[in-house]
Structure 1
Amino acid sequence: MPNDELMPIGAFAQRSGLTSSALRFYADSGLLPPADVDPVSGYRYYSADQVARATALRQLRELAMPLASVEAVLGSGPDEACRLLDNHVARVVGDAAAVQRKAAVIKSALGNVPGLPIAAVKGPVLADAVEQVLTATAHEPGIPALAGLRIEASHEAVTLTATDRYRLSTRTLVPAESSRQTWAGTVDGDELRATAAASRRSPLVRLEAVPNGIRFRAADREDRHCRLLPDEFPDYRLMLASLGEVTTRATVSKDLLLRALEEHPGERLGLHVADHGVNVVSADDEQPGTPLPATATGQALRIWFGLTTLYPAVSTAIGPDVLLDLRGHDQPVTIRSADRGDLTTLAMPINPDHPA
């Protein structure tokens, strides 16, 4: 191949995202040999056709995949490569879970630090509540608190809250045993999800505050530990306190509303609430809406949402019917069960005229 069609190692490093030293290592290991080597200078040259393989190699190594597995993936067809990737991810996830469990045991045993009792709740109830509220979390760069769940315990209740800035979900649990302590902290959402799942089959789970974390204790089970996020959680109570008066209220079947949202063709949709019920409409006036039987009171209102905001807010509601409390086209809507108020979600509307 003529030299003017080849790239020196530095240029190829920039194209592929691999360092020159990494390229030398992968060349020596046989994973990515250069297209040509100058016999006098020893300079290595690469072709443009090798960029895709080099990029895939870099991406696989970023997944902490061993060299032997990388070679197998690069040498396989799409179906086999996908299977190998799935196997690798399963091993990594399993190893991480094992490390997390061992770390929790070590944390609990360090210095035999006694925990401050926070609350005792039923395991299945706690697991369901955590799963429901965690749907409102988000992994946002620079805002780690949005991936956490706020736990606030008082003598009468344990409140779980999460927000991704477009939704806010909060659920209040009645403790199985009253506590004399009040406590609040933001718990890592990913760790809490795994811990809550393990608590589902425990009749009673005791929450204890420990340095930099919270401990979950259940009879005949290993203690679980979740770390606290040091970042400040958004002041959701101020937002709740500043909500305006409800001007429109509608009660609608959860299943019917979810089906209408699933069948809606666009990423944005409107709810037209009037005396006749709730109509799921499109920004395109030529598209027919989906009328839903509902009980509606107050002012007629049309309000717009992103599907990714409204759908999870409705799907996590408890019970067969959802209650929508609306305050205007530009104000958050409150979504909760029509007959149970312990899980409440706020969903932010959008301006349909603004670009996505």
Structure 2
Amino acid sequence: MHEHLRGIGAVARESGLPVSALRFYDAVGVLRPAWSDPVTGYRWYSGDQVGQAALVARLRQVEMPLADIAEVLASRHRSAEALTVLDRHLRELESRFAAARKHLSDAREFLADPPATRLEVSAADLAQALAAVRYAVGSDPAWPALTGVLLDCSDGVLRLVACDRARLAVASVPVRHLGGLPVQVVVPLAFLASLLDRDGDGDGGGGGDSSESDAGGEEPLLSVELRVDRVVIGDAEGALVAAEPVAAEYPDYQALLQATWVRQVRIPTSDLVSRVVDGPPGSIEGRPAVTRRPDFVAVLLGDHGVDVVQPSVPGAVAFDRAYLLEALAAAGGDDVVLALDAARQVLGVARPARPEDRSLLMPVRLRP
């Protein structure tokens, strides 16, 4: 019975269609073997089917859809009908090739002249956002991206981000007249600071919302143009200041912001600052006082408040004292919200009115 039939391995070698593909086309009914052993399931093909398999192999190379392959096989003895299917697929390939050429041409233009994202922001808003994050800008030359401020324009908001690997600060700025694609660029801190200092807003605090107008009733606006190779900021008088972005990739700060906050406590800012400055009580449960360390502070977040305690207190987490005070100063406002991440014990510091603007502090690992 098998004298004039070929096994699946031989058909694969002669046709160029892999064994796995022959099994697939059998399963979907496109190319069924002449006979399958009912006991072993082994497939046997006729000589004519070897030619069909070779035809299928060529049609696969040009990514012809399965339905069209089946149509070609069914009409292979009616060449006019089969050629109609081939011509239809050729026109589809030519259309896709033309679209691919257009996309590659656009990509070339993008690389040669990166598109600009343009927007306007309040000068006061930008100054306040910078004041809220600049304390967390890094200075380690081994991490050049962290020595600048990330400008992330997406979702209709301009975010300023600073990180020195021990802390992260994010502040958002409302935008107007936004046009262009989402973009991220890292600009030198000195560029932003000098620009805002020139306009007299560089010393603004992180607290409060900028809703006041200048003496003329008009809120000073800055025009901003963000490109991957250049940042240009101009004022109402038309003066332009440009800077070259830092040529380094910024870490995924959004991933760092994703946390499971197990405790969130609102507390008056001045009260917490006093506790952090004064430090914990000198003794606990009758034990001798622990020598006060000026460099860190242990914080215990409870259901109804925040306590500065000895580091030996169960549940307390230690943080750099100076970093925490800077984060509180940058947050500003009458109240502040502290939150603790369950997994990493990262401390979040935010203003109640702007929970999306947050500072993160990494814990201090104390040696026993």
Q: Aligning the two structures, in what range does the TM-score lie when normalised by the shorter sequence?
A: 0.5 to 0.7
Write the deviation string for residues 50-103 of structure 1: whole angstroms up to 9, x where unpaired: xxxxxxxxxxxxxxxxxxxxxxxxxxxxxxxxxxxxxxxxxxxxxxxxxxxxxx
Farther off after superposition, 330-339 or 273-282: 273-282
Determine which of 324, 327, 333 is the counterpart of 1:313.
Answer: 327
- Per the alignment, do residues 217 and 274 of structure 1 end up closer, same or farther by CA in structure 2, a change over 3 Å counting? same
TM-score, length-scaled by structure 2? 0.56
* Distance in 2, Cα, partners of 1:267 & 1:344: 23
Task: Give the conservation status (yes or no) of the 8 Å contact 1:249–1:326.
Answer: yes
1:195 paired residue number = 195
The offset of 1:345, in angstroms, is: 0.7
> Match for 1:268: what amino acid?
F
Write the deviation string for residues 239-270 of structure 1: whole angstroms up to 9, x where unpaired: 223x2x22112111111111222233521111
Determine which of 222, 227, 252 is the counterpart of 2:244.
Answer: 227
Superposition pairs of residues 97-136 of structure 1, within 5 angstroms: 116-136=116-136
1:249 paired residue number = 264
1:175 paired residue number = 175
Task: Give the conservation status (yes or no) of the 8 Å contact 2:346–2:362.
Answer: yes
- Per the alignment, do residues 236 and 276 of structure 1 end up closer, same or farther by CA in structure 2, a change over 3 Å counting? closer
Larger Rg: 2
The offset of 1:167, in angstroms, is: 0.7
Task: Give the conservation status (yes or no) of the 8 Å contact 1:249–1:323.
Answer: yes
* Distance in 1, Cα, partners of 2:228 & 2:140: 26
Superposition pairs of residues 285-304 of structure 1, within 5 angstroms: 301-304=315-318
Determine which of 254, 278, 291 is the counterpart of 1:263.
Answer: 278
Task: Give the conservation status (yes or no) of the 8 Å contact 1:323–1:338.
Answer: yes
1:22 paired residue number = none
* Distance in 1, Cα, partners of 2:249 & 2:114: 26
Determine which of 257, 277, 295 is the counterpart of 2:305.
Answer: 277
> Match for 2:323: what amino acid?
T
* Distance in 2, Cα, partners of 1:197 & 1:282: 41
* Distance in 1, Cα, partners of 2:170 & 2:136: 9
SS of match in other structure, 2:175: coil
SS of match in other structure, 2:179: coil
The offset of 1:342, in angstroms, is: 4.2
> Match for 1:240: what amino acid?
L
The offset of 1:234, in angstroms, is: 1.4
The offset of 1:115, in angstroms, is: 8.5
Task: Give the conservation status (yes or no) of the 8 Å contact 1:155–1:180.
Answer: no
Task: Give the conservation status (yes or no) of the 8 Å contact 1:318–1:343.
Answer: no
1:4 paired residue number = none
Task: Give the conservation status (yes or no) of the 8 Å contact 2:115–2:180.
Answer: no
Q: Percent identity?
A: 23
Superposition pairs of residues 46-125 of structure 1, within 5 angstroms: 116-125=116-125
Unaligned runs of 5+ in 1: 1-112, 286-299
1:184 paired residue number = 184
Task: Give the conservation status (yes or no) of the 8 Å contact 1:304–1:329.
Answer: no
The number of residue pairs the alignment matches comes to: 226
Task: Give the conservation status (yes or no) of the 8 Å contact 1:118–1:153.
Answer: no
1:162 paired residue number = 162
2:89 paired residue number = none
**Is 2:234 the partner of 1:217?**
yes
TM-score, length-scaled by structure 1? 0.58
SS of match in other structure, 2:120: strand
Write the deviation string for residues 268-299 of structure 1: whole angstroms up to 9, x where unpaired: 111122245221123478xxxxxxxxxxxxxx
Determine which of 313, 326, 351 is the counterpart of 2:365.
Answer: 351
SS of match in other structure, 2:261: coil
1:137 paired residue number = 137
> Match for 2:307: what amino acid?
N
* Distance in 2, Cα, partners of 1:329 & 1:234: 20
1:205 paired residue number = 222
Unaligned runs of 5+ in 2: 1-112, 202-213, 280-291
The offset of 1:308, in angstroms, is: 2.5
* Distance in 2, Cα, partners of 1:211 & 1:321: 38
SS of match in other structure, 1:195: helix
Task: Give the conservation status (yes or no) of the 8 Å contact 1:151–1:184.
Answer: yes
SS of match in other structure, 1:308: helix
Task: Give the conservation status (yes or no) of the 8 Å contact 1:269–1:305.
Answer: yes
Task: Give the conservation status (yes or no) of the 8 Å contact 1:148–1:186.
Answer: yes
Q: CA RMSD in A?
A: 2.6
